[in-house]
Structure 1
Amino acid sequence: MHWLHLGIAVIFEITVAISAGKAQGFTNAKWTTATLVSGGIATYFLSLALLTFDVGIGYAVWAGIGAAGAALLGPLFFDESLTAAKAVWLAVIIAGVVWLKLADSPERAGATR
């Protein structure tokens, strides 16, 4: 269930980024509301995930995948470019998050999760 909570938190974190970009400095009421509501939902589900994940690992996954997701959706919502170099570095972020989680496997210290 903790992965589901973290996945929901990531989706709403990406929503925060897209909504904040559309909120025009919080002058657009609709997008400002979407930013604040999705931010609250993202934080709530992150807090549920952190009941199981170490804070450093859970937050790294949330922030890393959220940032990569927002960067990948930027070209769709903001007419931004996604160059080959940007794609490579986004892949590095995602790989780093995966390796960070793998390094935190329960077997490393005999812990159970």
Structure 2
Amino acid sequence: MSGWGYLALALIFEVVGAVSLKASGGFTRFWPTVGVVVGYGLTFYLVALSLRDLPLSLAYAVWAGGGTALVALAGWLLYREALTGMAALGLALVVIGIFLIKGFGGGEG
């Protein structure tokens, strides 16, 4: 699998970990707590694998920024958390920033 494939899977498991974190009730519910440990454990493992092929600055920008955007979307969809126009603009700017890093400053990858 390519570095991009590992990074895409890492983003999915980051969302699983974050959604499980909310559902865990402060680690008082067993299965959501398992979801946190598995989700974040796989996330870090997969990001580490992606770094075999991708530059650190690019991988981290995609992981952190993409994860932020996806977790905000998951919070809005699953937990009815507010997503105001300004918050949506902020998330759009994060995604634009990722593309700028990839296009102009992300090095080889």
Aligned residues: 107
CA distance in 1, matches of 2:57, 2:22: 27
| Runs of 5+ consecutive residues of structure 1 not aligned to the other structure | 107-112
TM-score norm. by structure 1 comes to 0.88
Q: What does residue 96 of structure 2 align with?
A: 95
Q: What does residue 86 of structure 1 align with?
A: 87
CA distance in 2, matches of 1:7, 1:19: 19
| Runs of 5+ consecutive residues of structure 2 not aligned to the other structure | none
Instruction: List, as ranges, runs of 4+ consecutive aligned residues in structure 1 with deviation greater than 2 Å.
Output: none
TM-score norm. by structure 2 comes to 0.91
Question: What fraction of aligned residue pairs are identical, expressed as a percent?
Answer: 35
Deviation at residue 56 of structure 1 after TM alignment: 2.1
Q: What does residue 9 of structure 2 align with?
A: 8
Task: Please tell me the residue identity of whatever aligns with 2:30.
Answer: A
RMSD of aligned C-alpha atoms? 1.2
Q: What does residue 110 of structure 1 align with?
A: none
Kindly name which structure, 1 or 2, has the bigger radius of gyration based on alpha carbons: 1
Q: What does residue 31 of structure 2 align with?
A: 30
